[in-house]
Chain A
Amino acid sequence: MTSAQIEIQLIASLVAIACALPGTFLVLRKMAMISDAISHSILPGIVLGFFITQDLNSPLLIVLAALTGVVTVMLVEFIQRTKLVKEDTAIGLVFPALFSIGVIMIAKNANDVHLDIDAVLLGELAFAPFDRLVAGGTDLGPKSLWVIGSILLISVSLLLLFFKELKLSTFDKGLAATLGFSPVILHYGLKTVSSVTIVGAFDAVGAVLVVALIIAPAASAYLLTDDLRKMLILSCCFGVFAAISGYWMANLLDASIAGSMSTMLGLLFLLVYLFAPNRGVISVLVRQRRQQLEVALLVFLLHLQNHEEPEERHVKHLQEHINWQKVQSERVLNLATNNNLIKITNGVIDLTGKGRQFTAEALNYITINKETAIEDLKEQFFLFRG
């Protein structure tokens, strides 16, 4: 690895962590789309700053862009407060308009400006090591490393200082307010930190991919854990993993680094989405299927309990009267027999003692608690689950 390669991976990882921290809270607070709005609408601020300074890494640019981000947030909230349109419509109206202004500003001055619109969308991480911060003749490393490093430092210290308050106001706004923490200050603080982070990361990964780095790690982590601390750590890990593996994939394909970073994030999310224990699609579908079968079993047992006459308790009756499919009735019968809840003699089904006890207790539980979650009972009686 050359030193440039190491520097690129370091910048990418820092950007990923800096994005993942506010991203976690944005996802939890259902404000994820505001990151999309900010990342697009800071364009006019960046273009204006670039016209003035002619330097993509100047601090003025970052200040102007961050200001545009705050203006965006204020505009969106102003429109939301008029209640003329729904919340998401307000977001969808503001950012394309500001982005259009930025695009027109670039296009009108295309001849004398070295600001490429593709660079705005994609960023150019590969060139980051060439723009170096030099102080008093000594080389202090790439400028963007310093920019994103200081942003990360600020957001980490804010996070450590206000972790308790942030946690509380994220999960229980009302309680936070009654305890005297102003949810409004935290709300705007989070938005300001997000917009500064987006501005800092913008230069490295571009407008749209900032959104990927903010939302995807947090969303993947949210499917894996219920603990805020673990979620923060997991999303940072996911971000760093995507940054480094994305860099090497880009190297291999000779393609955009930012593009392959978000592709890696996409793959990661796809894996989590499908296979996450408890919350992944596959385990959700399996659980639903099992619950369906077990509810059917319970209905069937109650039916048996209520009927003494042999013709109501005949195996064939399941298909005729309860109107189940053949496969379904076989599965229910198998489950019941395996658990020793019923026995079948000459095609007539009888509840066993255990079956009677289970049915009675389940019925009792449901009528008293008005709930259908009888997981404890099932654990107690079932040898096999559906």
Chain B
Amino acid sequence: MQLSDFFTDYTLRTITLGTAILGAICGMLGSFAVLRKQSLLGDAISHAALPGIALAFIITGVKDRNLILIGALISGLVGAFWIKGIVKHTRLKSDTALGLILSLFFGFGMLLLTFIQKMPNANQAGLDKYLFGQAATLVEQDVWVMAVVTGVSLFVLLLFWKELKLLLFDADYTKTLGFNTQFLDILITSFIVIAIVLGLQTVGVVLMSAMLLAPAAAARQWTNNLAKMVALASMFGALSGVVGTGISASQSNLSTGPVIVLVAASFVMFSFVFAPNRGLLARAIRFRRNRKDLNLKKTLTFMHHIVRNHENISHPHSIRILNNFHGFTLKTLSVLEQRQFIRIEGDQWSMTEEGFTEATSIYDQLGQTDD
């Protein structure tokens, strides 16, 4: 495979475009799921869609893509709102509700699928493709459907941007302002269900939740701004779609769905480590710097403690009276000298005027009278 194949090979181009759009819409809507602490809702919904797929086939007897999508959509919605019902009306917590709906719907779906396999009507082959998805079955029409849905959901998001943002960060305040939170909740949940159903054909029931989560979790590390996060998440999603499709096309026997998920997971790992401010690396560097700074200040306050009882603050003292316990090392000493807080002559140190002012201000901030 060469890079130019992406533009010349019709099938590959369709699939790449499809997974890219799918990644984008999942990233966009996934941001809301992640911020609302509903990360696993996607997992539950995608599993809950399975009986819908099977029922659509049993009822209509034909394997029509759109009918199956509608079936999946309906059972996904039923699952999503039943979860909300369980949490609202009973004392079961959301994790139990999610696990319940996920496994019970999926089990029922598997029952129906195995039931269909035994049916005399033989053209059922391919329904189990929805378990793990098969990007190769994407055709141009699917890509169009995805593009239209992405457009519509983007439009709705922009239309209700302010309300949704408010709902994300302060649901009670949103309610007191008079917005219909129930409507907004249903709106965002329905769009998440739609995005999941669209992705079932490509990445499958089991891995769909990662498509929703991973780009958003990665994007969250880079910014604290909702708009930027949504944009970044769509970008990460689209990128994992394109890269994943590319990798899986370059080798035989490599299903697209899992590869896309792994690419998205590596984006998450990269972001966890390297994101500025929130990232683990940035955090470790900040810790080190703070610790050094603290040691420096400790040494300086100790010096101040000695010096303040002398008439002449610049009276030299022996270096030997400083010890490790006060954060003293040769390095801190030389840094203090560099900053001109102290002067060193031989094995004696003496405090400068600036050093004394600095130490006094630290001392005042600490608000301590002794030590």
Query: What is the interface of chain A, defined by CB distance below 8 A to chain B?
Result: 27, 30-33, 35-36, 40, 79, 82, 84-86, 88-89, 91-93, 96-97, 99-101, 103-104, 107-108, 110, 117-118, 121-122, 208-209, 211-212, 214-216, 218-219, 222-223, 250, 253-256, 258-263, 265-266, 269, 273, 279-281, 284-285
Contact = CB atoms under 8 A, between A and B. Distances in A.
B217 A89 contact: yes
B341 interface: no
29 contacts: A30-B95, A32-B93, A36-B103, A79-B272, A89-B34, A89-B213, A91-B39, A93-B213, A93-B268, A117-B132, A121-B206, A208-B102, A219-B96, A219-B100, A222-B91, A222-B96, A254-B118, A255-B115, A256-B110, A256-B111, A256-B113, A259-B111, A259-B113, A260-B111, A262-B111, A265-B104, A265-B107, A269-B100, A279-B90
Q: Dominant SS at the A interface?
A: helix
B42 A32 contact: no
Contact of A216 (B104, B132, B206, B255): B104
Given A32-B95, A214-B99, A259-B112, 20 more contacts: A32-B96, A32-B98, A36-B103, A84-B221, A88-B37, A97-B265, A104-B262, A118-B131, A208-B103, A212-B103, A215-B100, A216-B100, A256-B114, A258-B107, A259-B107, A259-B109, A259-B114, A263-B108, A273-B86, A284-B89
B99 A263 contact: no
Contact of B92 (A107, A222, A259): A222
Nearest to A104: B258
Contacts of B259: 100, 104
B297 interface: no
Contacts of B21: none
B209 interface: yes
B39 A262 contact: no
B280 interface: yes
B99 A93 contact: no
B100 to A, nearest CB: 5
A45 to B, nearest CB: 16
A263 B220 contact: no
B39 A108 contact: no
Contacts of B104: 212, 216, 262-263, 265-266, 269
B307 interface: no
The 3 closest A-B CB pairs, nearest first, are: A262-B107, A259-B111, A96-B210
A118 B40 contact: no
B73 interface: no
Interface in B74-104: 85-86, 89-93, 95-96, 98-100, 102-104
Contacts of B261: 96-97, 100
B108 A96 contact: no
Contacts of B214: 93, 96
Interface string B324-358: 00000000000000000000000000000000000
B206 A99 contact: yes
A279 B88 CA distance: 11
B164 to A, nearest CB: 18
Given A85-B220, A88-B37, A255-B115, A32 B107 contact: no
Could you say which of B93, B110, B272 has the most chain A C-beta atoms within 10 Å of its C-beta? B110
Contacts of B265: 93, 96-97, 100
Given A93-B214, A96-B265, A259-B114, A215 B89 contact: no
B108 A108 contact: no
B304 interface: no
Given A84-B272, A97-B261, A208 B107 contact: yes
Could you say which of A30, A104, A223 has the most chain B C-beta atoms within 10 Å of its C-beta? A104
A372 B100 CA distance: 34
Interface in B21-63: 34, 37-40, 42-43, 47
B40 A91 contact: yes
B103 A215 contact: yes
B92 to A, nearest CB: 6
A253 B90 contact: no
B224 to A, nearest CB: 13
Contacts of A35: 99
A258 B104 CA distance: 11
